[in-house]
Structure 1
Amino acid sequence: MHSNIHHDQMEALPIWYEHIKKVMDFWPIAYYPFYMRPTGYGLAVEDRYDDQLVKQDWELVRKLAKRAEKEGFPFFMGYEWQGAGLDGDHNIFFLKNDGEQTHPLRYKELADAFKGQEVIGIPHHLAYQPGSRGKNWDTHNEAFSPFAEIYSSHGSSENDDGPLNMNRHVHMGPRTGETTYEKGLSRGYKVGIIASGDNHSVPGVYEHGALCVLAADRTKEAIWEALKERRTYGVSRSRIEVDVIANGAPMGAEIETNGEVELEFHVKGTAAVDRIEILRDNILEEMVVHSGAWERNPIQGLVRFKFRLELGWGPDTRVYKEQWMKEWTGRLEVDGSLLNVEKCWNNFGQEITAQDEKSCDFSITTYQSTATGKWMGPSNVTTEGFIFEVEADADSFLRLTIDGKEYPLSVREMFESSKVFALWDEVRRLTKETWGDITHYRDDPWWHNAYKFRVGKAYPESSYKVSFKKRLQMKENGNLRLRIWQKNGDAAWTSPVFVTVK
């Protein structure tokens, strides 16, 4: 939901669109109308482009929105608003394709300008300094801003003492507890949760989080209704599936009760689920620990499991200056069934070329640096790959072919450990062509510069599927939400259910 395309990238807008259709189910784009403006002092400052130039770019976004509408792809026009920096940054989205940008200095003026229209304004990177682009909860309007983006490439704004720090954009400073999402909840606001990117080079970056919506169908109208009703949650990386029901109502709902809440949730992870935290008013109410609940179960017969394949790494570009990109070809074949393929993509150049119930063919492009060299691009070294869900006999083999070479994978061994494979022939050839027949008493010159791929540990279905039901007693009004952690560090956060005790 947070793809910031800049003026100097507008020619690439169709490329962004074709890429996003591969990795996301819908796309709310956030056009970024700002640039670093030179000044007479010599210090450049961030400012908005000239109105006429912004208008020209906005019409290009509108043209694409109309094209997407004809093609049946849910596309929402949007732009980033920053104002005077006193209320925090917000992304403004429109249901219809006739919306126009406005840029008042204050959030209240912004919300008032769109009053009565199908427009939402979503705060992001909340937990920066108040007055310096952090969220100002004093001016919040929950009708205009029904949810907040609490995780992105910036890190987590949920609170100021959680493990996912905001340390990537060092110029914006460390996070503070004064502006966090939990501060907004504690002040009584009914505000939901999303995560989503804040990507400026490639849309839909896997590593930066995603917005999940519980919608009746994949139309703009159904998605918009779900957004307005806060039926949203966020994931930090992979597509963890979550459903929460409280007294028959979904996440984001407001319910009345005599004090008893029957909470039910279902989680389908992408790797082993470690724990699920039930939070009441930002405080841990109960922890459902799943680690230890499945590991001793025998792996035998027909088994359903997931594993992640990552491709990347490679030569030190300070030494091998031309080795900044690699194109891979691959194929996975299974004797059982290939049930699902999740794309874990961070850059352009990725493709599934064929897929059926037995196999998946793909071409992958990995980079040794960000896609553009831009400081707001992905982290320095990213991998590309997939999460595969497979059903096969525990004593069978998968056949993985990378760049024409086959690597048989024992399913039983995959449950024991991950494995890393190096493209030894390629790095030996590169080393010899560059430096000649070198020798060394250990393999550092080759291993450190080899392209590699990692076959992640396989996790059985019992490790990543969790269902739970419990009756909770509440003596006063409050909210209930989930925080979900996988063993690999992936997280999910659900919008709260807001409870009124009669």
Structure 2
Amino acid sequence: MDEYRLLWGDLHTHFEDPDHDHHYLDSGRENIDFCAVLGYPFCSENRNGLVVESVGPRPEHPEYWRKLLELVRVYHAPGRFLTLPGYEWHGDRARYGDHNVIYFESGGRLDAAWRLEDLYRNLAGGRALVIPHHTGYAPAYRGKDWSVHDDSLSPVMEIYSIHGSSEGCETPFPMERNTNLGPRVSAGTFQAGLARGCRLGVIASNDGPGLPGRWGRGRAAAWVKEFSREGLLEAFRARRTYAVTGDRIELRFRVNGAEMGASVPGGAAVEAEAEVIGAAALDRLELVQNGRVAATYNHSGRWETKAARERRFKVALEVGWGPHAKYGFKLTEKFWRWQGSLAVAGGRLAGLENRFTLPGQRAVLAAPGRSHFELASRVKYDSSPTNIQQGLVFEIEGGAGTGLDFDIEGLRFRAEIGELLAGTRFVPLIRESEARIRKEFGLDGESIGNPDPYILNCRKIKLHRAVPESGYRVGRRFRNLRLDKGLNYFYLRASQLNGQYAWSSPVWVTRA
């Protein structure tokens, strides 16, 4: 794919308050390459005490849409950050399932169609796509009815988001987050759509408000010919797209030399090829054919013994945790601030990837071989672990003796690649925890009599195990794949040891 460029984006972040949501785009353009400024034209209504979400057009929608289009105009910057106007379709979602309308231009309108067939008809011939999402719920109960589908207007679907994965009914990431819409069932899944003959590519996106492209909630990847709306639309129509849960897993997938999204003829047997570059140690590659895993390649155990002899590594930094209100702290902060830097001794800092979950993060490469970062992790008020950490992944050129010199919140420490190849490094800000407890409660270790409060309420830093290039990069060929009669589809599911996943769009092969 030398003629293509890989872009990262999110087509499903809600902008419910366009008068104040611009700060999400300020952070979004530092996080991803393209973003749908997605309207959510619904409101909650009280019907005799029952809370009901509105459907259909409302008088306030035209002004709301005008403000969204203005946000699109202000932030659109071809070659740097693409903005696309869009909205969640507010027609009969119960019957047809949920869909987002995305315009690959500066204009467009809120379509009032109640039936999906009418929406397709109204948008035909234009520069809009209709993208089904959380399809794995039951059809006629907010899941996707694949009998009503237009391959040209809906060339891709959202396979993963905060809801979980709609890939299949017995595939990774069950749809358990939204207990009102659940459970996940077979009929609405991606695999069910493919089994009906739908030509579906895949993306992932967040589905909710906040930072566009939030790590862990889904990101879309597209191999484009040019960094523009036109280039992005061409890639989506060609289904040259794929989905990741969060980490920027670079994925190339071909069958008989044809790129993901293509359709090719085949003989009795074919060959599939995968190239994957992860942000962490790769676990396995699974080749899915017609709803079943046709071949698996396990990468774990194939690279560890030679790790110390390599010259390129990835090391993840994670910061967060800290005091909890349930232990009596009077927390007035919303975020913990982390200001820091990294300097590489005896090597070179070659790359930087983010794992951001909140707006307001900043990390840059600064010559020669340094990084500066300002991160913010969420203060913990309840038992939910959501967004309490932020992360970065550094790509290092060097060897086992290469030193990583960190200065984070005034705490300076060094970790060598050789040490990190053996395991993680834990750095607690224990002195800060002691000082906070002394200041807020007037207590020291002797008067407390138990060291747990210092440990439980300490901000912490984690350096993950260093992974050499042979651990996060792999190329694999799957040969002599037997075709079923008629139309076959193949797609790749790739996973890392840290639980992050990627799904390619399929390649279709017809056996005569």
SS in 2 for 1:138: coil
Q: Provide, for residues 274-298 of structure 1, a one-character-per-residue CA deviation record: whole Å limited to 9, x for no partner.
A: 1100111111111011111111225
Note closer, same or farther for the CA distance 1:147–1:366 as it changes in structure 2 (3 Å cut).
same
What's the offset of the Cα at 1:127? 1.0
Is the counterpart of residue 352 in structure 1 residue 363 in structure 2?
A: yes
1:192 matched residue in structure 2: 201
- For 1:362 and 1:441, the matched residues in 2 are separated by 37
- Checking the alignment, whether the CA contact within 8 Å between 1:339 and 1:357 is kept in structure 2 is no
1:451 matched residue in structure 2: 459
Q: What TM-score do you get using the length of structure 1 for normalisation?
A: 0.94
- For 2:510 and 2:228, the matched residues in 1 are separated by 32
- For 2:255 and 2:457, the matched residues in 1 are separated by 52
Q: Provide, for residues 147-171 of structure 1, a one-character-per-residue CA deviation record: whole Å limited to 9, x for no partner.
A: 1101001111111112311111122
- For 1:364 and 1:37, the matched residues in 2 are separated by 38
- For 1:119 and 1:328, the matched residues in 2 are separated by 41
Is the counterpart of residue 480 in structure 1 residue 493 in structure 2?
A: no
1:58 matched residue in structure 2: 65
- Checking the alignment, whether the CA contact within 8 Å between 1:313 and 1:381 is kept in structure 2 is no
What's the offset of the Cα at 1:144? 1.4
Q: Provide, for residues 453-499 of structure 1, a one-character-per-residue CA deviation record: whole Å limited to 9, x for no partner.
A: 11111100000111012332324220011000111111000000011
Which of residues 152, 167, 177 in structure 2 aligns to 1:158?
Answer: 167
- For 2:95 and 2:56, the matched residues in 1 are separated by 20
1:334 matched residue in structure 2: 344
SS in 2 for 1:271: coil
Note closer, same or farther for the CA distance 1:46–1:475 as it changes in structure 2 (3 Å cut).
closer
What's the offset of the Cα at 1:202? 2.7
What's the offset of the Cα at 1:71? 6.1
What's the offset of the Cα at 1:74? 1.6
What's the offset of the Cα at 1:442? 4.1
Note closer, same or farther for the CA distance 1:298–1:341 as it changes in structure 2 (3 Å cut).
closer
What's the offset of the Cα at 1:216? 1.2
1:407 matched residue in structure 2: 413
Letter in 1 for 2:172: P
- Checking the alignment, whether the CA contact within 8 Å between 2:340 and 2:408 is kept in structure 1 is yes
Letter in 2 for 1:500: T
What's the offset of the Cα at 1:12? 2.4
- Checking the alignment, whether the CA contact within 8 Å between 2:362 and 2:374 is kept in structure 1 is yes
Letter in 2 for 1:133: R
Structure 2 unmatched runs, 5+: 1-9
Is the counterpart of residue 308 in structure 1 residue 316 in structure 2?
A: yes
Q: How many residues align?
A: 493
Structure 1 unmatched runs, 5+: none
- For 2:128 and 2:393, the matched residues in 1 are separated by 35
1:146 matched residue in structure 2: 155
Letter in 2 for 1:191: L
Q: Provide, for residues 234-265 of structure 1, a one-character-per-residue CA deviation record: whole Å limited to 9, x for no partner.
A: 00110000011222211010111223323221
- For 1:459 and 1:314, the matched residues in 2 are separated by 27
Q: Provide, for residues 351-405 of structure 1, a one-character-per-residue CA deviation record: whole Å limited to 9, x for no partner.
A: 12552351101111111259xx9xxxx9634311201111122112110111111
- For 1:61 and 1:369, the matched residues in 2 are separated by 32
Range with bigger deviation, 197-206 or 420-429: 197-206
Is the counterpart of residue 95 in structure 1 residue 104 in structure 2?
A: yes
1:396 matched residue in structure 2: 402
Range with bigger deviation, 439-448 or 148-157: 439-448
Q: Provide, for residues 309-347 of structure 1, a one-character-per-residue CA deviation record: whole Å limited to 9, x for no partner.
A: 111111112321315421110101112111111111111
- For 1:266 and 1:357, the matched residues in 2 are separated by 31
2:211 matched residue in structure 1: 202
SS in 2 for 1:299: helix
- Checking the alignment, whether the CA contact within 8 Å between 1:338 and 1:356 is kept in structure 2 is no
Residue identity over aligned pairs, in percent, reads: 31
Is the counterpart of residue 36 in structure 1 residue 47 in structure 2?
A: no
- Checking the alignment, whether the CA contact within 8 Å between 2:323 and 2:380 is kept in structure 1 is no
User: What value does the CA root-mean-square deviation take over the aligned residues?
Assistant: 1.9
- For 2:385 and 2:294, the matched residues in 1 are separated by 36
What's the offset of the Cα at 1:306? 0.6
- For 1:313 and 1:12, the matched residues in 2 are separated by 29
What's the offset of the Cα at 1:501? 1.7
Letter in 2 for 1:367: R
- Mapping of residues 313-324 of structure 1, within 5 Å: 313-318=321-326, 319-322=328-331, 323-324=333-334
Which of residues 25, 44, 51 in structure 2 aligns to 1:17?
Answer: 25
- For 2:275 and 2:182, the matched residues in 1 are separated by 37
- For 1:298 and 1:127, the matched residues in 2 are separated by 41
Note closer, same or farther for the CA distance 1:465–1:298 as it changes in structure 2 (3 Å cut).
closer
- For 2:368 and 2:253, the matched residues in 1 are separated by 31
- For 2:298 and 2:90, the matched residues in 1 are separated by 41
- For 2:100 and 2:288, the matched residues in 1 are separated by 27
Q: What TM-score do you get using the length of structure 2 for normalisation?
A: 0.92
SS in 2 for 1:179: coil
1:177 matched residue in structure 2: 186
- Checking the alignment, whether the CA contact within 8 Å between 2:144 and 2:188 is kept in structure 1 is yes
SS in 2 for 1:363: strand
- For 1:32 and 1:379, the matched residues in 2 are separated by 26
Is the counterpart of residue 228 in structure 1 residue 237 in structure 2?
A: yes
1:383 matched residue in structure 2: 389
2:7 matched residue in structure 1: none
- For 2:56 and 2:413, the matched residues in 1 are separated by 53
1:288 matched residue in structure 2: 297
Letter in 2 for 1:186: A
Q: Provide, for residues 172-206 of structure 1, a one-character-per-residue CA deviation record: whole Å limited to 9, x for no partner.
A: 22211221111111111111111111121332211
- For 1:362 and 1:49, the matched residues in 2 are separated by 45
Which of residues 458, 464, 479 in structure 1 aligns to 2:472?
Answer: 464
Is the counterpart of residue 116 in structure 1 residue 116 in structure 2?
A: no
What's the offset of the Cα at 1:49? 7.9
- For 1:369 and 1:316, the matched residues in 2 are separated by 5
- Checking the alignment, whether the CA contact within 8 Å between 2:318 and 2:390 is kept in structure 1 is yes
- For 1:385 and 1:379, the matched residues in 2 are separated by 15
Note closer, same or farther for the CA distance 1:334–1:289 as it changes in structure 2 (3 Å cut).
same
- Checking the alignment, whether the CA contact within 8 Å between 1:368 and 1:380 is kept in structure 2 is no
Which of residues 489, 497, 502 in structure 1 aligns to 2:507?
Answer: 497
SS in 1 for 2:395: strand
1:365 matched residue in structure 2: 376
Letter in 2 for 1:221: E
SS in 2 for 1:57: helix
